[in-house]
């Protein structure tokens, strides 16, 4: 496993999230730079991240900070981080709301839109946090080879839920490493639902969130098809350590490293899948399936024919699951 080190005491942790939480909870410090912020609130830590480290934040940390901090003024960025932070720290969402970046794929609260004209505003409400271990150790079907896409839960579950997401979407990282664990505990483990992950590497036939996005999709399907028992550990490791969306990080080398760190036994299959484009048909089928059911942003859950953005809509998600289970 790749080690993540606390900058204060040099203790090492298996995940970036564990290092982050330790550095803040034990030392009141930022795990990116080691600056000790004293007796501050979580919001002050998040403001520090956005001001001092806008280009360094992982996808999970970026969305956590942006969700918790309503706004940062240009003056705050200038005084605390200099001109680079003041200008470079503006998010694509802020640029869009300010009238700029009309040609950029739109980011809206709690979802990455699939087109420039799509807006997905979730209802007010906090996302449920949870231990990602529930996802990492989620049960898989007895015959995983019968499932084309990565699936957790029993083949005999009452309801099949489809999670449309992108390996490069920071909102998917937020959902996958937080609320998803609660759904696993409450609905997958008891056998109420099975859940499949379908990666949107393409939208309308074009790569979604960068030309490297299909490589990430190839890697995920390679892990599922060669070492399904390790798939959900890989899933959580990638989302928990997701680099910034703007980076073209989904290379064969990086994805093999992620697979190794997550304990995948057949990492050579990841490189082969990317080089040979082995799962292109499956990825393009997901593009068509998403279009057919009206998916317009990631993450989206498809539950009994209904689509819902899970971020900020936890009650709606639970109601749809329970209604679907009750009708079966």
User: 124 lies in a domain?
Assistant: no
CA 207 to chain centre: 17
Check whether residue 229 and residue 161 sit in a common domain. Answer: yes
Please give the backbone phi and psi of residue 12, each rounded to the nearest 5 degrees, phi first: -115, 150
Check whether residue 90 and residue 194 sit in a common domain. Answer: no
Alpha carbon distance 100, 180 (integer Å):
33
Check whether residue 141 and residue 194 sit in a common domain. Answer: yes
User: Of the candidates 81, 103, 125, which is a domain's last residue?
Assistant: 103
Check whether residue 158 and residue 241 sit in a common domain. Answer: yes
User: 275 lies in a domain?
Assistant: yes
DSSP annotation of 208: S
Q: How confident is the model at residue 65 (pLDDT cuts 50, 70, 90)?
A: confident
Check whether residue 44 and residue 192 sit in a common domain. Answer: no
Q: pLDDT tens digits, residue range 120-163?
A: 333 333 333 334 588 988 899 999 889 999 999 999 898 999 99
pLDDT for the residue 95: 29
Region for 244 from its dihedrals, namely left if φ exceeds 0, alpha if ψ lies in -120 to 50, beta otherwise: beta
**Domain span at residue 60?**
4-103
Check whether residue 19 and residue 77 sit in a common domain. Answer: yes
Per DSSP, helices labelled H in the chain are 16-27, 42-52, 59-68, 74-88, 92-97, 133-136, 170-177, 179-183, 213-226, 231-240, 252-261, 268-276, 280-293, 314-326
* CATH number of the structural domain spanning residue 270: 3.40.30.10
Per-residue pLDDT, averaged over 205-209, amounts to 91
User: DSSP assignment of 107-136, as one string?
Assistant: EETTEEESSTT----PPS-PPPP--THHHH
pLDDT for the residue 317: 92
Check whether residue 290 and residue 242 sit in a common domain. Answer: yes
Check whether residue 170 and residue 69 sit in a common domain. Answer: no
pLDDT for the residue 37: 85
Counted domains in the chain: 2
Check whether residue 170 and residue 312 sit in a common domain. Answer: yes
Alpha carbon distance 188, 182 (integer Å):
9
pLDDT for the residue 112: 64
């Amino acid at each position: 496993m790749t080690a993540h080190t606390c900058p204060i005491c040099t203790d090492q942790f298996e995940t970036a999230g564990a290092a982050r939480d330790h550095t803040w909870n034990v030392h009141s410090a930022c795990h990116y730079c080691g600056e000790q912020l004293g007796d501050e609130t979580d919001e002050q830590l998040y403001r520090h991240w956005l001001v001092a480290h806008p280009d360094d934040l992982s996808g999970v940390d970026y969305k956590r900070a942006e969700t918790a901090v309503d706004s940062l003024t240009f003056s705050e960025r200038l005084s605390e981080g200099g001109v680079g932070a003041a200008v470079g720290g503006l998010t694509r969402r802020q640029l869009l709301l300010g009238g700029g970046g009309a040609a950029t794929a739109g980011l809206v609260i709690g979802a990455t839109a699939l087109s420039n004209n799509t807006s997905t505003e979730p209802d007010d409400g906090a996302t449920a946090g949870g231990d990602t271990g529930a996802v990492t150790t989620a049960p898989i079907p007895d015959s995983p080879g019968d499932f084309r896409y990565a699936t957790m839960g029993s083949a005999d579950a009452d309801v099949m839920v489809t999670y449309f997401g992108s390996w490069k979407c920071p909102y998917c990282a937020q959902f996958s490493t937080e609320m998803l664990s609660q759904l696993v505990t409450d609905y997958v483990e008891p056998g109420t639902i099975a859940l499949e992950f379908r990666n949107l590497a393409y939208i309308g036939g074009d790569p979604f969130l960068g030309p490297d996005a299909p490589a990430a999709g190839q890697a995920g399907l390679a892990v599922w098809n060669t070492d399904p028992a390790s798939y959900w550990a890989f899933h959580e490791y990638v989302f928990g350590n997701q680099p910034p969306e703007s980076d073209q990080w989904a290379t064969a080398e990086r994805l093999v490293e992620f697979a190794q760190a997550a304990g995948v036994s057949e990492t050579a299959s990841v490189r082969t899948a990317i080089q040979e484009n082995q799962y292109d048909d499956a990825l393009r089928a997901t593009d068509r399936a998403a279009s057919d059911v009206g998916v317009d942003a990631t993450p989206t859950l498809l539950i009994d024919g209904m689509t819902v953005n899970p971020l900020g809509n936890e009650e709606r998600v639970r109601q749809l699951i329970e209604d679907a289970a009750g009708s079966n």
